[in-house]
Amino acid sequence: MRCTVFGTGYLGATHAACMAELGHDVVGVDIDPGKVAKLSDGVVPFYEPGLEEVLRRNLEAGRLRFTTSYPEAAAHAQVHFLGVGTPQKKGEYAADLKYVHAVVDSLAPLLEHPSVIVGKSTVPVGTAAALGARARALSPAQVEVAWNPEFLREGFAVKDTLHPDRLVLGVDRERNSARVEELVREIYADLIADEVPFLLTDLATAELVKVSANAFLATKISFINAVSEVCEATGADVTVLADALGYDARIGRRFLNAGLGFGGGCLPKDIRAFMARSGELGADHAVAFLREVDNINMRRRTKMVDMATRAVGGSLLGANVAVLGAAFKPESDDVRDSPALNVAGMIQLHGAVVTVYDPKALENSRRVFPTLNYATSVVEACERADVVLVLTEWNEFTALRPRDLDRVVRGRSIIDGRNCLNRATWRAAGWVYAGLGTP
Ligand code: UDX
């Protein structure tokens, strides 16, 4: 089948490449000529394991191309996926829908044949219905809007797109949606044949599935981090506790890793947008707990600053602090709302000399945080450090041994912000080890 994907960020570029991998004839569209040029050359403009191979294979096979031309994209297909960003508005909790609106406003007037716009971006409930009305008012052809939320994780984007846990399709029940369902089922035929569950819903439910999935994950992480605070007050060990909880199948071990908490382009802004939208709908009391989820999450970051202060004797002024990790999680170069960079920045504000190393996220970090020092290796970052902070659990850091750093640091003190190091090993080598929620 032919389809287009509007937006070529983490979501859109992955979706375009993966739809081509399923055998479809795909055009990826972006207003940024730089991104289009890179993708057309087989270069992924961000770090995502495995994506470049899929991109190149499908470019070579002639099933995938990229363009900045909306008329070209409009004429290419009946099915148009929408994968642009919905970031948090500046100074507000609400999501900024300007990119979603811009695509619909530009695309709808160009549609000459009956078409379906299939939203994949995470949007506040009610957006899809409003976009449908907007698209129909602008388009000379019959146009339907459906919502098919994307649940992919960065670092596993290809796998999550080609082997999702489920497919959710929200359609406008007020309209004749049989054709919409048929087209989307055809696009995902291989996945459905692989027995991926396919759930057909109304538009609002589909939008809410995504938002509530992310709110649940954020809540799970903040739950264990709240318990972690109590562990700190009592000398209990949150990692053993999480293991013990996780054996209960109703709870499960995943997303129970206590530490510096969640960041990234999705979880933080999605819970805030959920609160904002619920407020608009008069249901803010229902999700008031999410404010606490957010607070618990942010408290882990200030706790880390306190621990670093204590580790260097009570004042960060003039201390050398090595920060290992800048990405919001391993296997990603994404630094949006990164707990690691946030902590690095706060420590610098306290007067410390902060040197950051990350295997993949240095370029992005430099762009958003140009005042920090950056090193090109772990050893370089740790040279003459009074304390070493591990803030993203890259394998390169979990594999570190005390003897790798013994000779370069000034003070043998390490703080494990992700509970990813073996504390017995570090202590046995004479280091002062501190972790979040561990004795
Ligand atoms: C998330 C959702 O998982 C995904 O389904 C959705 O489509 C987009 O948002 P992503 O942002 O890629 O995906 O990252 P995820 O793996 O969910 O991690 C989010 C954050 O939570 C990271 O900062 C991670 O370090 C943190 N985290 C995760 C924890 O602190 N503890 C955990 O146990 C798990």
Tens-digit pLDDT profile for residues 108-161: 999 999 999 999 999 999 999 999 999 999 999 999 999 999 999 999 999 999
Q: DSSP assignment of 300-312, as one string?
A: HHHHHHHHHHHHT
In degrees, rounded to 5, the angle at the alpha carbon of residue 24 between the alpha carbons of residues 18 and 30 is 65
Provide CB contacts within 8 A for 68, sequence distance 6+.
29, 30, 31, 32, 33, 36
Residue 373, pLDDT score: 98
Mean pLDDT on 4-16 = 98
User: Does ipTM top 0.95?
Assistant: yes
221: CA distance to ligand 1 center in Å?
A: 9
Task: Indicate which residue of 3, 231, 266, 382 is catalytic.
Answer: 266
d(CA 303, CA 417): 10
**Quick one: pLDDT band at residue 399, thresholds 50, 70, 90?**
very high
Q: Are 413 and 386 in contact (CB under 8 A)?
A: yes
Q: What is the residue with the minimal CA distance to atom 24 of ligand 1? A: 262
Residue type, 7: G
In this structure, the residue with its CA closest to atom 28 of ligand 1 is 255
**Portion of the chain with pLDDT greater than 70, in percent:** 100
- Ligand 1 centre from 153 Cα, in Å? 7
pTM: 0.97
Cα 109 to ligand 1 centroid, rounded to whole Å: 37
Mean predicted confidence (pLDDT) in 219-239 = 98
Encode 186-214: b = buried (16+ Cβ within 10 Å), e = exposed: ebbeebeeeeeeeebbbbbebbbbbbbbb
The residue assigned the tokens 């996945």 is 191
Find out whether 120 and 82 touch, Cβ atoms under 8 Å. Answer: yes
Q: Is the pLDDT of residue 206 over 90?
A: yes
Tokens at residue 35, please? 């991104």
Query: For residue 393, which atom of ligand 1 is closest to its CA?
Result: 25
Active site residue 231: no
> Which residue has the CA at smallest separation from atom 3 of ligand 1?
153
| Token pair belonging to 13 | 């570029």
b/e sequence 296-307, b meaning 16+ C-beta within 10 Å: bbeebbebbbeb
Residue with tokens 């229902």: 286
Mutate to test the pocket of ligand 1, among 209, 254, 266, 304 (most ligand atoms within 8 A of CB): 266
**pLDDT one-digit tens code per residue, 233-272:** 999 999 999 999 999 999 999 999 999 999 999 999 999 9
pLDDT digits (tens, 9 = 90+) for 292-336: 999 999 999 999 999 999 999 999 999 999 999 999 999 999 999
CATH hierarchy code of domain 2-196:
3.40.50.720
Question: What are residue 86's phi and psi, to 5 degrees?
Answer: -130, 70
Q: What is the pLDDT of residue 63?
A: 98
CA distance 384 to 408: 6
- Our mutation pick for probing the ligand 1 site, out of 48, 217, 241, 397, counting the most ligand atoms within 8 A of Cβ, is 217
SS3 of 162-197: the string is: HCCCCEEEEECCCCCCHHHHHHHHHHCHHHHHCCCC
Ligand 1 near 255 CB (within 6 A)? yes
What is the rounded CA–CA span in Å between residue 339 and residue 343? 6
Beta carbon of 256 within 6 Å of any ligand 1 atom? yes
pLDDT band at 368 (very low <50, low <70, confident <90, very high): very high
Point out the annotated binding site for substrate: 151-154, 210, 255-259, 263, 329
pLDDT of 205 over the 90 cut: yes
- Best residue among 329, 358, 391, 419 to mutate for probing ligand 1, ranked by most atoms within 8 Å of CB: 329
Triad 93, 94, 95: Cα angle to 5°: 125
- Report residue 18 as tokens: 């993966």
Handedness of CA 152, 325, 315, 337 (dihedral sign): negative
Average pLDDT over the chain, rounded to an integer: 97
Is residue 176 pLDDT above 90, yes or no? no
Considering only CA atoms, which residue is closest to atom 14 of ligand 1?
Answer: 153
User: Residue 359 — pLDDT band, cuts 50, 70, 90?
Assistant: very high
What whole-number percentage of the chain has pLDDT above 90? Answer: 100
d(CA 27, CA 66): 5
Q: What is the pLDDT of residue 65?
A: 98
- Centre of ligand 1 to C-alpha 425, Å, is 28
- The CATH number of 202-439, from 3.40.50.720, 3.40.50.970, 1.10.3210.10, 3.40.50.1970, is 3.40.50.720
Domain with CATH 3.40.50.720 in the chain: 2-196, 202-439
Tell me: the pLDDT tens digits for 85-112?
999 999 999 999 999 999 999 999 999 9
- How far, in Å, CA of 228 to CA of 242, rounded? 10
Residue 367, judged by CB atoms within 10 A of its CB (0-12, 13-18, 19+), counts as exposed
Question: Pairing state of beta strands 143-147 and 373-374?
Answer: unpaired
| Cα–ligand 1 centroid distance for 332 (angstroms) | 11
